[in-house]
Amino acid sequence: MPLKNDLLVRAARCQPVERTPVWMMRQAGRYLPEYRAVRKDLPFLTLCKAVDLAVEVSLQPLRILGVDAVIMFSDILIPVEAMGLEVQLTEKIGPKMPHPVRSAADVEALRVPDPVETMPFVYDIIRTLKREIADAVPLLGFAGAPWTLAAYMIEGGSSKNYHIIKSLMYSEPAIFHRLMEKLADTQALYLKAQIEAGIDALQLFDSWAGELSPEDFATFALPYIQRVFEQVGSAVPRILYVNGSTHLLEGMAASGAEVLSIDWRTDLAEAVRRTQGRVALQGNLDPCRLLGPREGILRGVEDIRAKAKDAPGHIMNLGHGILPPTPVENAQTFIAAAQGRL
C-alpha cells in the first residue's frame, strides 16, 4: 500500500514536495503526560521490550502533535545487549555497562547476533506499528552508529571527554578497528531486518562522533558508517545524525546517507553550501527554543525554512532530541508552524 503522506520519503529522496515534512527526535518521551502515564515506574529497558507499550508511546506524537512520521520506540543500545554485553539503562542516570570493553579478549567475546532471534520484540513493534499506522505516515527505524556505540561500550557509560575510547583508539588501533567491524556488521543486520519488517526510512545516530577531529572521523568513524549503509542498501532513505557536526559535514556527505541531520550549532545555509546539493538536510531548531515563547518558535521555523530554501530536500526537525520540560503546546506550535498551519 502506498503511503497517504509520503512527504518525508520524497523530501529525503530530493523529490518535489507540497510542503516541508516535520518530526522530532525523541518525540515519544517524557514531555508528554501520556508517555509518563504509560512509563510510570516501569524500567526503561522493560518499556523498550514490551511490544504493546512501545507501540502505544510510538503513536502518541502522531495523535497528539500530528507529526509527519512515526519513529519506533526503542534505544540504540538494544543491539549491544544482544552482542553479549550487559547494559543497564535508567533515564536519570543514563546507560551503564558494568563490564566495559577494554581488551582484544573483550572484543572477541562479543558476537554479531542474528537480530530476529535475539531481538524479536523490535520487529514485533515495527510490524504492529505498520498495522496501526495503516500507511498514514512513514514509519522510521533507527540504530546507533558504530563510534557512538563503541564510546558507550569502552567508557562504560556516558563521558565528558571520551579519554578512554580515544586512548584505546590511538594506542590499540587493531583492537579498536576489530570492535568497529563487529559493530558495523551488527548494525547492518539489525537495520536490514527493520526494513524487512516494514520501516519506510531509517536514521543512524552518531551522537558522540562530533568529539572527533575531521581526520579522526575519517579514519575511525566514517568507514564504519559507510560499511553499515553499504550493507543496508538504498531500499529506504537513510538519514545520518551527528551531534556537534559543523566540522564534519563534508565527511558526513560521503557516508552514503541520502539525508544529513544537522544539529542546531550549524547554520543550515552553510550546510547547504558545503554539501553542494549532494544530500537532503534535516533539522535544525535548537530544542531549547521550545522552552521559550511562541513567537520565538515561529521565528525559528521561518528562519530555518529560509536557510533551507536551496537544499535539494529538507525535513524540519530539532537539532537534538526534544527536552523533557518542553510544554506540549510548544511542541504542537512547532509542528503546526512547520506544516504551515499557523
Q: How far is CA 158 from the centre of its chain?
A: 17
Task: List residues forming the annotated binding site for substrate.
Answer: 26-30, 75, 152, 207, 320
Point out the catalytic residue in the list 10, 13, 26, 227. Answer: 26
Catalytic site residue 152?
yes
Point out the catalytic residue in the list 6, 13, 31, 75. Answer: 75
* Strand ranges for the chain from DSSP E: 70-71, 88-90, 94-96, 139-144, 201-206, 238-242, 259-261, 280-282, 314-315
Q: Hey, how many other C-beta atoms are within 10 angstroms of the C-beta on 93?
A: 10
For every residue of 301-334, DSSP letters joined together read: HHHHHHHTTTSSSEEB-BSSPPPTT--HHHHHHH
Contacts for 162 with CB less than 8 Å, ≥ 6 apart:
151, 155, 208, 211
- What's the rounded Cα separation, in Å, for the pair 207 and 221? 12
- What's the rounded Cα separation, in Å, for the pair 67 and 63? 8
Q: Is the peptide bond before 330 cis (omega within 30 degrees of 0)?
A: no
Burial environment of residue 201 by CB neighbours within 10 A (0 to 12, 13 to 18, 19 or more)? buried
From 70, 61, 69, 68, select the one nearest 38 (Cα to Cα): 61
From 258, 245, 218, 222, select the one nearest 319 (Cα to Cα): 245
- What's the rounded Cα separation, in Å, for the pair 310 and 245? 20
Point out the catalytic residue in the list 10, 39, 227, 289. Answer: 39
Catalytic site residue 52?
no
From 255, 133, 251, select the one nearest 203 (Cα to Cα): 255
List the grid coordinates of 112: 554479531
Point out the catalytic residue in the list 152, 190, 224, 241. Answer: 152
Catalytic site residue 216?
no
Task: List residues forming the annotated binding site.
Answer: 26-30, 75, 152, 207, 320
Task: Tell me the catalytic residues.
Answer: 26, 30, 39, 75, 152
